[in-house]
Structure 1
Amino acid sequence: MCLALVMGNMIGSGMFLLPASLAPYGWNAVFGWMFTIGGALALALTIARLTRARPEARDPAGFVEAAFGRTTSFLIGWSYWVSIWAANVTIAVAAVSYISIFVRAIGTTPHLPALLAVGLLWAVTLINLQGARSAGLFQIVTMILKLVPVIVVLAIMALVLGREGAAAIAPFPAQGLSVSAITASATLTLFALLGFESCAVAAAKVENPERNVPRATMMGTLLTGLIYLIICSGIALMLPAGEVAGSDAPFQIFVARFWADGPALLIGLFAAISALGALNGWVLMQGEQPLALARRGLLPAWFAATDTRGTPVRALILSSVLASAFVLINSNRAMADLFTYLALLSTSATLWLYLAVACAGLKLRIAMPIAMIGALYSLWALWGAGLWVSGLSFVLMASGLPFYWWARRSNATAT
């Protein structure tokens, strides 16, 4: 179950739109994937070691609190919440991109993709407001369906490579690789692997977390990373870069090129369902994260309110309001551009958590060599995201400080 949680949250919109974002980088993106998988494994191992050594900390934000105190823990927890609702918008945009292959007017009508993304976000929010059982049933169905396009594309790649060999893949660039292109692509690829910390975040609900959380985290990160490396690199290198880069549905183009238009449309439908499944899982987390912060006294008690089913109604609704506002502000972007921008923002906001956890490992002298690699990787990825995006994620992190002061004042009054 832990492994399903990790891989289910990682396999979503990134699988189906990243080939378009990475196509301009060509072979540089392949090496970007390798760096990303290595960095993610270092961070995952750091989390695994911390979970074993400090089970009382309960989750990544707890490790940060043990090392650096409550204020830093709040800032990191708040930043992670920002990354979740930014990721939800990104996933909703991906779903709309694949729906647009059935309704062409979506891609040509200004602001319509953003409005539809907001509509999908609120539809899934309503499912989660019905309670964890409703969200869980929806997740089971979409998890099964999302495997269909993955299996189909892997089978097509194997057949084409078996028939044509290396001729089916774009040649290695004569000018060699570019450090700047590898760095830029690595930040995008990390978006696909966001969520390897999911099992650690839910460690309080896991049986024998000291054993199950580390195993699921490491296995899920490695398996998902390999799937992404093969599929995204294969699509980007087996199709003309210009054709993939300008597409809102690269999976559909790939299947149409090497199979037929009919199956390609069907694959596009499954891809949209996969994105909705990932959106459902992350919407659940966007309510649970502020709830956990409030229960630890890092957010005002207002965020801790739940209904009779234990659903954090206020936190869910506020998260979706913030996500909706952000996508509407950027509604003038094309779908592919909007996806890339929001993916970078979500990744950058999450990187603060990864950097803080790695530094916590160094401060607590746990998994020190691996934690150092994770910290250096996180800094490199923040730089690769660009000054504007990383700076904006830092500003969004600092925007939570008034709520932290409100919580401290409320707690002081109560005592």
Structure 2
Amino acid sequence: MPNSEKKLGLWTSTSLVAGNMIGAGVFLLPAAMASFGSIGLLGWVFSAVGSFFLAKVFSNMSKLLPHATGGPYAFTRYGLGDFAGFLVAWGYFLSTSCACAAITKSLVSALSTFFPALANGLPAVATGLCAIWLLTYINTRGVVTSGKWQLVTTILKILPLVLVAFGGLFFLQAKNFSPFNSSGTSTYSAISTTAAMTLFSFIGIECATIPAGSVENPQKTVPRATLLGLLIATLVYILGSVSVMGLIPAAELAKSQTPYADAAAIIYGDNIRYWVSAGVAIAAFGALNGWTLMQGQMPFAVARDKLFPAIFSKQNKKGVPYMGILLSSTLVSVFMSMNYSKGFVEQFRFLLLLSLLSMLIPYLLSAASYLIIKVKNKQADGWLGAVVLAIVAFGYALWNIVGTGKDAVYYGFVLLMMSVPFYVWVAYQKNKEQ
């Protein structure tokens, strides 16, 4: 068992949660939501509240199963059995691979502000591949090395967001928050849509639970890191959105390609744009680093339970499941390269839609497992709160699954069912060995 010097502490675990949640996409969300009006702020609130219930579920289960490496997979497998756990792991593996490819694209796009040649073509692909494999190397050097990088990049990425979030509060114009609902739909419909859009920014609340075996004192550290990471991200998101909306008229904001940079220019002057663009690049780099760590830890936990091929359980001298990271980074490289090929753009966008659904399924099944785990652990107290928490968290995840649209749900179901023959083969091999 690794000693405490080789494990993640509270702040590195917190940076893993906040860093994976705060990606490059948050810098563009104010523009994407501008057409809805200031009602979009309620979308942020609904997402934050729903994510809090999910975070609380993960926090509580990390206390019940403090050394369960794999997070949602481990919780679901313990509560609902091997097959449900396998489905979570399969969906999570595909989802993180697609997400990492999109994050890489955001990183290269941000760097093109400083290096216009990266706007498209071979230089863009080469730069993206270099970023993927640089972080692959860093993550094979050990979980502490990766954690330190994550802590640094999280601080650097939050800085420009904080500058706008708090600095903008002194320059708000009330007229920019009107009309309240300009979406042309009902209040409920507008809130549902904006809540689904902002949900992307809360993906990652489970990240401290996944490498639990590499966390110092996980029974205390993981719950604290999960809730603290969510709190940091929520404050940055909501205050940042209020500032950007209050600084830039909605019609102008809807056309902005760099809303945070535009808002920062109003507050601090035009030269600040480059600093914000650097913040976007760092945000993408930090998120890519955190998700690369997840790519190794999740398959490792599943392979150790003999539900994934044994190759994913191989570790190097530093105790890193390197084969899982290498195989996942290869898949990410393929997806990222596809995004620069016009013939594959639509397929890739659809993969991203499935990516969201694949993340929601682990949340849904984790919430469903919570009460079962309490029963198995013979927990006699706190049942009323646990039942309410499980119902709300399950309902929130289900609401967002429906919100992804019927096409995503249908094809997501097909994709999951395609994994069934693979599971049958793995289960057969496992029983054969026994």
TM-score range, shorter chain: 0.7 to 0.9
Matches within 5 A, 1:283-298: 283-298=292-307
Residue 28 of structure 2 aligns to a residue whose secondary structure is helix
CA contact (8 A) 2:16 2:151 kept: no
Change in Cα spacing, 1:140 to 1:3, as seen in structure 2 (3 Å) is closer
Deviations 1:272-325 (A, max 9, x none): 112201211111111111111101111111211222222323211221222233
Partner deviation per Cα, 1:240-274 (whole Å, 9 max, x = no partner): 44544444433222222443221111221122112
Deviation at 1:226, TM superposition (A): 2.6
Unaligned runs of 5+ in 1: none
**Matches of 2:123 and 2:219, distance apart in 1:** 47
Q: Equivalents in 2 of 1:225, 1:49: separation in Å?
A: 20
SS in 1 for 2:113: coil
What SS does the corresponding residue of 1:261 show, helix, strand or coil? coil
CA distance in 2, matches of 1:113, 1:20: 25
Please state if 1:91 is matched with 2:103: yes
Q: What does residue range 296-311 of structure 1 map to in structure 2 within 5 Å?
A: 296-311=305-320
Note the alpha carbon deviations across 1:393-415, whole angstroms, 9 max, x for none. 44443444344334323333433
Alpha carbons of 1:122 and 1:208: their partners in 2 closer, same or farther (altered >3 Å)? closer
Q: Are 1:74 and 2:86 matched, yes or no?
A: yes
- CA shift, 1:370, in A, is 1.2
Equivalent position to 1:38, from 33, 38, 49: 49
Question: Paired residue for 1:351?
Answer: 360
Whole-angstrom CA distance in 1 between matches of 2:60 and 2:205: 14
Equivalences for residues 2-401 of structure 1 within 5 A: 2-55=13-66, 57=68, 59-104=71-116, 106-107=118-119, 109=120, 116-161=127-172, 164=173, 166-173=174-181, 177-236=186-245, 238-331=247-340, 344-364=353-373, 367-401=386-420
CA RMSD, 1 decimal: 3.1
Distance change in 2, residues 1:302/1:273 (3 Å): same
| 8 Å Cα contact 1:93-1:117 kept in structure 2 | yes
Contact 2:16 2:147 in 1 (8 A): no
Displacement after TM superposition at 1:137 (Å): 4.1
> How many residues end up aligned between the 2 structures?
410
Q: CA–CA distance in 2 between the matches of 1:302 and 1:29? A: 45
Contact 1:28 1:177 in 2 (8 A): no
Task: Tell whether the 8 Å contact from 1:187 to 1:347 is kept in structure 2 after alignment.
Answer: no
- Cα distance change, pair 396–339 in 1 and its aligned pair in 2 (3 A): closer
Answer whether contact 1:187 1:344 (CA < 8 A) is retained: no
Q: Given the superposition, is the C-alpha separation of residues 3 and 132 from structure 1 closer, same or farther in structure 2, using an over 3 Å criterion? A: closer
Cα distance between partner residues in 2 of 1:78 and 1:204:
20
Cα 1:337–1:36 shift into 2, 3 Å: farther
SS at match of 2:271: helix
The CA deviation string for residues 95-146 of structure 1, in whole angstroms up to 9 with x for no partner, is 2232232344544x47876665444323322332344354344334323322
Structure 2 residue matching 1:27: 3-state secondary structure: coil
**Which residue identity is paired with 1:167?**
K
CA contact (8 A) 1:19 1:233 kept: no
Q: TM-score, normalised by structure 2?
A: 0.83
Structure 2 unmatched runs, 5+: 1-9, 376-382
Relative to the length of structure 1, the TM-score reads 0.87
